Amino acid sequence: AQKITQTQPGMFVQEKEAVTLDCTYDTSDQSYGLFWYKQPSSGEMIFLIYQGSYDEQNATEGRYSLNFQKARKSANLVISASQLGDSAMYFCAMRDVLSGNTPLVFGKGTRLSVIA
Amino acid sequence: DAGVIQSPRHEVTEMGQEVTLRCKPISGHDYLFWYRQTMMRGLELLIYFNNNVPIDDSGMPEDRFSAKMPNASFSTLKIQPSEPRDSAVYFCASSLDSISYEQYFGPGTRLTVT
């Protein structure tokens, strides 16, 4: 079974500052993928970034980077230079990547508020 | 290319009524997922299909829920009879093939059962 834990229900960050959203996971799978999704107040789910368990480099996508520490089973999302539009719910998710295209298992989410 | 399309976007119904949610995946995508989002349980899988065949329906809450995918471009999620605890946002997502990592989500259907 897979489990995602996001321990921060809510976070505040000043505009233009960097912020780290925590995510820890548990799985017995040898190969897995880790994902971050953004859900603004409008409700849609927006894919942000992906990290494969065997990727040696941390994933980066623009202002988003994923701080992957396999031994600690953590996959924290770092947002640099926060913008007001970054205010949203952020979900960490994972899935097995060896058994075809399997469903995502999500954490409970972290609500990020960016303050001007 | 159009993204995943869901209809209706909002549905308000009375307890006991039948509700049908619809999803059109991205053209050419082999995988289709139905997720439900509630405050209490977060985002959880209900069922998913590969090439129109249901692969795992262990997340379907009970017999009141059923899902079909009659062809590659259409899926339905039906609740009969509906109950207030079914109130949630229902997302449909699709993915290209077995090695693609990204799942593309539709805008969701917000269901309210009174």
What residues of A are in contact with residue B105 (Cβ under 8 Å)? Answer: 37, 44-47
Whether B100 and A101 lie within 8 Å, measured CB to CB? yes
Q: Which residue has the tokens 């303050």?
A: A115
Whether B107 and A47 lie within 8 Å, measured CB to CB? no
* Residue B112 CA: distances (Å) to CA of A4, A82, B4, B18: 28, 34, 22, 12
Beta strands A19-21; A24-26: pairing state: unpaired
Nearest Cα residue to B57 out of B38, B84, B75 = B75
Find the closest chain A residue to B45 by CA distance.
A103
What is the per-residue pLDDT for B107? 97
Mutate to test the interface with A, among B96, B103, B104, B112 (most CBs of A within 10 A): B103
Per residue of chain A (116 residues), give pLDDT as tens: 899 999 999 999 999 999 999 999 999 988 999 999 999 999 999 999 999 999 989 999 999 999 999 999 999 999 999 999 999 999 999 999 888 889 999 999 999 999 99
Which stretches of chain B are assigned E, i.e. beta strand? 5-7, 10-13, 19-24, 31-38, 42-50, 53-56, 65-71, 74-79, 88-95, 104-105, 109-113
Nearest Cα of chain B lies from the Cα of A66 at a distance, in angstroms, of: 16
* Residue A47 CA: distances (Å) to CA of B56, B63, B101, B102, B105: 23, 32, 11, 8, 9
pLDDT tens for B44-96 read: 999 999 999 999 999 998 899 999 999 999 999 999 999 999 999 999 999 99
